Amino acid sequence: MPPFMYHAHPFIGIILMIVVWVVQLFVAYLIYRDAKDQKMLAPVWCILAILPMFGFIVDVIYLIIRELCPSRKTENPPASL
């Protein structure tokens, strides 16, 4: 192997880990908002989406459940006072 392959930036692992964690937090926030609109257990979905190494699997499971279950939104929301 060429010698330049052995010298990676020492902080690249930490930076990559932080970027992945920020993306996971953002996706968990989006799931929370959508689950709240769908009248699902939003805090539970958000906590499960934040869990490391399990969160991305939960994201896919949430998308599948969201598409399979009918929307729980009210068809005719009450008029505001």
Which residues touch 81 (CB under 8 Å, ≥6 apart)?
none
Q: Average of pLDDT values for 41-49?
A: 91
In a domain, 29, yes or no: yes
Q: Average of pLDDT values for 12-38?
A: 89
Whole-number pLDDT of residue 16: 85
Q: Which domain holds residue 41?
A: 21-68
In a domain, 79, yes or no: no
In a domain, 26, yes or no: yes
Q: Is the pLDDT of residue 77 over 80?
A: no
**Which pair of structure tokens corresponds to residue 48?**
């499960």
In a domain, 77, yes or no: no
Burial class (CB in 10 A: 0-12, 13-18, 19+), 30: middle
Give φ, ψ of 8 to 5 degrees: -95, 160
**Which pair of structure tokens corresponds to residue 71?**
């929307």
pLDDT band at 15 (very low <50, low <70, confident <90, very high): confident
In a domain, 27, yes or no: yes
The predicted model scores a pTM of 0.71
In a domain, 13, yes or no: no
In a domain, 25, yes or no: yes
Q: Is the pLDDT of residue 4 over 60?
A: no
Q: Average of pLDDT values for 54-78?
A: 79
In a domain, 38, yes or no: yes
Q: Is 24:56 a contact under the CB 8 Å cutoff?
A: yes
